[in-house]
Amino acid sequence: MEKNYLHPVINFLAMSSVLSIQHISKSYGSVRALNDISFEVPKGSVFGILGPNGSGKTTLLGIVMDILRANGGTFLWNGQPGSSNEMRKQIGTLLETPNFYHYLSGEKNLKIAAAIKEKGYDDIPKVLEKVNLSQRKDSKFSTYSLGMKQRLAIASTLLGNPDILVFDEPTNGLDPAGIAEIRELIRQLNREGKTIIMASHILDEVEKVCTHVAIIQKGDLKTVGSVHDVLNASAAGTENMVATAEIELAAEYLPALEEALRQMPGIVHVYTNEKTVTVEAEDTITTAAINKYCFEKGIVLSQLMLKKKSLETRFLEITGGKSDR
């Protein structure tokens, strides 16, 4: 099945969709924040909405949570209209830092949150345990580290045991230890069967925790799919994604190596520097095949290494590496 970057029609292997977004657009006066966005979020996924600052990620989350009104398009949660109050009660959301009381304990803050959300207090011990704050439940919020404060915020989204969680920049402003805490918590919640949708500009974290990703730039959807598919898509020809691998090579005479590789079938791109040649090859091309091809051309390789392409590399290829602000 062809996968088109600009107008994707995605079938996630018959997985049922938790969220279906169809042709969502949003403008603020003459500024187009979102332009005809469509994609599906598979049930049980950790779905990252990734983009530079100002790309429209937060606007999109605001629309699907019925906080903002779109100028065009529709969205469904589990096949139901997103404006349904009952449906929204089944979703735990963290779109901005909750207004916890600094002089109250973590447990008392959660009681206030439960009352506001019209949830009972029975879940509070369970959610405190889940976010590893049981031993600090009686400590004042002001004594919490940034990571602990964010974990308490996530605990508030778990009240009522929702199956769907929506987070906007859940690791923003945290130190490395706090980021690691939230990363593991997201993994744990996903293992328990929860579908998690998170907007982020931190590429490394998205790659570590997400199963699927949508990349948005200047309000346009650039690509969407599983993290594996996006990482292995060719930068050449955004019309059709082609699975590729990145391979680094070296030989005594690099110009001859470069010329030979440019003529090899299945090689999509060739990049050179002073010491190595890097090729982007269709994933049907093995390192053994490249070694054999070069040897037959009279070139003895001194280096042949399969490299894992990072989400940062793909992101920069797709967006050009520029902020949208």
Whole-number pLDDT of residue 86: 72
Residue 11 lies in a domain: no
One domain, residues 70 and 187 = yes
One domain, residues 144 and 173 = yes
CATH number at residue 273: 3.30.70.100
Q: Please give the residue that has the higher pLDDT: either 264 or 232.
A: 264
One domain, residues 180 and 265 = no
Domain boundary among 231, 252, 283: 231
One domain, residues 150 and 285 = no
Q: Which of 112, 87, 119, 86 is nearest to 98 (CA)?
A: 112
CA angle 247, 251, 256 (to 5 degrees): 95
Residue 145 lies in a domain: yes
- Position 45 confidence tier, pLDDT thresholds 50, 70, 90: very high
Whole-number pLDDT of residue 310: 58
Which pTM value belongs to this model? Answer: 0.72
One domain, residues 292 and 210 = no
Which of 39-43, 86-90, 201-205 is most confident? 39-43
Task: Give the structural domain span for 297.
Answer: 244-308
Residue 3 lies in a domain: no
How confident is the model over 119-152, as pLDDT tens digits? 889 999 999 999 999 999 999 999 999 889 999 9
CA distances from 35 to 24, 38, 184, 219 (A): 7, 9, 33, 5
One domain, residues 269 and 300 = yes
One domain, residues 200 and 284 = no
User: For the ranges 12-26, 108-122, 146-160, which has the lowest average pLDDT?
Assistant: 12-26
One domain, residues 210 and 253 = no
Residue 69 has pLDDT above 70, yes or no: yes
Whole-number pLDDT of residue 324: 52
Residue 178 has pLDDT above 70, yes or no: yes
One domain, residues 25 and 83 = yes
Q: How many CB atoms lie within 10 A of CB 155?
A: 27
Number of domains in the chain: 2
